[in-house]
Chains A and B, each alone.
Chain A
Amino acid sequence: MMWPVGLRSGSKRWWGWSMALIWGWWCLSGWTLAVELTFELPDNAKECFYEVIEKGTESTLEFQVVTGGQYDVDVVLTDPRQAVLYKQVKKQYDSHTFTADITGEYQACFSNEFSTFSHKLVYIDFQVGDEAPLPGMGDHLTAMTQMETSSQEVHENLNAIIDYQTHHRLRETQGRKSGEYLNERVMIWSIFVTGAILIVGFGQVLVLKSFFSERKPVQLYGYN
């Protein structure tokens, strides 16, 4: 959105306030967000995600380390006043629900700075507010019928199933990636050890032969 050219600074401020009001109204009208992201956190790196949350909205931050090192990461969640709401050191998985007490930018930072060479794959799920109701379903003035209540319940249960499936997939991914890594390592180390055996074997023979093949005749009985 471009500022209209020729706008005086005073009107700009007023315009800014009206924009904030529109934004606020729109946010409160029930549109919500749940974003799931899986990203790679390199070693000694820190990644932050920001979200503007309205006061009074219940939000959940969930994270899980999928692969890498000891499967742990440092997490810090701060509110707009830079106060720490939630802090964990070297945690593998957690889910934190909080209610925003002021409107503003909330920051969730994930740090892998304690690790020197293992980069991590982290899954996060930042859910702000409740799920938006289906269009047309939200604005009922009368109570819902039996059908509607049942279907709502089925929907919530299916949501739970999808959620469990995601968690299961993440845990299973951990095991699977660990298995693939082990498979690779077995191959690499086997080749390395075989090479070492061959080198040491031939090396021993060569060195031993060199003891007995000097120009000077070997003094077998020693000499003074």
Chain B
Amino acid sequence: MFGTGWNTVRGMPVGFWLLLVWLPAFVSPLYFHIAETERKCFIEEIPDETMVTGNYKVQLYDPRTNGFAPSSPGIGMHVEIRDPDDKIILSKVYSSEGKWTFTSHTPGEHVICLYSNSTKWFSGTQLRVHLDIQVGEHAIDYANVAQKEKLSELQLRVRQLLDQVEQITKEQNYQRYREERFRQTSESTNQRVLWWSLGQTCILVVMGAWQMRHLKSFFEAKKLV
């Protein structure tokens, strides 16, 4: 990244300042380890029309230094996002560092799966994945908004409050939808218990009557009765 012709480090003008500017693009400090062939999924239960942003960075385990290489450009990560109806919203391979965004169109559980595009059959080396997922108003970059729309501090604050209130409203709506689903499930259970109990009682009675009739005719045929 800094060029192969760089021999000295003491005089560090360009690279140092580049780093200072570039570092804020780096992703979150939260990370976890997965095997190279392992698939890791996260579930986001969100209302509809909600934006979800994810940042990730992958590092490959380097056995020589017994640590993780600072950057591993060779690996790619496959990001697959499914909506509550199990339809694929996003399925793309990104490089070792990536940022993805999607907006939900149905409320419910969205599943975000990450796995490396390694072609090995059994688990190879360990991968360190830095991940940051932000939902709804947390996904909005207010610095960007302030700059683009030239908002003053108070205006920006009001915009933030508006976004938060909108998110709260969506969540309340979603809550109503979930509660209705729960009610439907409970009513369905009630129906099922009722009809199956009745059905089973009927079957028992009919079975008993049939048994008696059949055996009676059997014994009569055998001349035992």
Contacts and interface: CB of A to CB of B under 8 A. Distances in A.
Contacts of A168: 175
A14 B9 CA distance: 9
A23 B133 CA distance: 21
**B contact face: mostly helix, strand, loop, or mixed:** helix
B66 interface: no
Given A38-B45, A212-B224, A47 B32 contact: yes
B6 A4 contact: yes
Interface stretch (A76-84, A85-93, A94-102, A175-183): A175-183
Contacts of B15: 4
B42 A39 contact: yes
Nearest to B130: A50
Given A15-B9, A39-B41, A197-B207, A51 B71 contact: no
A71 B52 CA distance: 27
A40 B111 CA distance: 11
Contacts of A155: 157, 160-161, 164
Contact of A197 (B32, B70, B204): B204
A162 interface: yes
Contact of A176 (B24, B28, B161, B178): B178
**Chain A interface helix/strand/loop/mixed:** helix
B182 A2 contact: no
Interface residues of B, number: 78
Given A33-B28, A36-B133, A7 B70 contact: no
A49 interface: yes
Contacts, number: 186
Interface string B158-200: 1011001101100110110011011001101100110010011
A143 interface: no
Interface residues of A, number: 72
A169 B193 CA distance: 28
A151 B157 contact: yes
A172 B178 contact: yes
A78 to B, nearest CB: 15
28 contacts: A11-B8, A15-B9, A31-B24, A35-B131, A35-B132, A37-B42, A38-B42, A39-B42, A39-B43, A50-B30, A51-B30, A134-B160, A135-B143, A148-B153, A152-B157, A155-B160, A162-B168, A179-B182, A179-B185, A183-B189, A190-B192, A190-B200, A193-B200, A197-B204, A198-B207, A201-B208, A208-B215, A209-B218
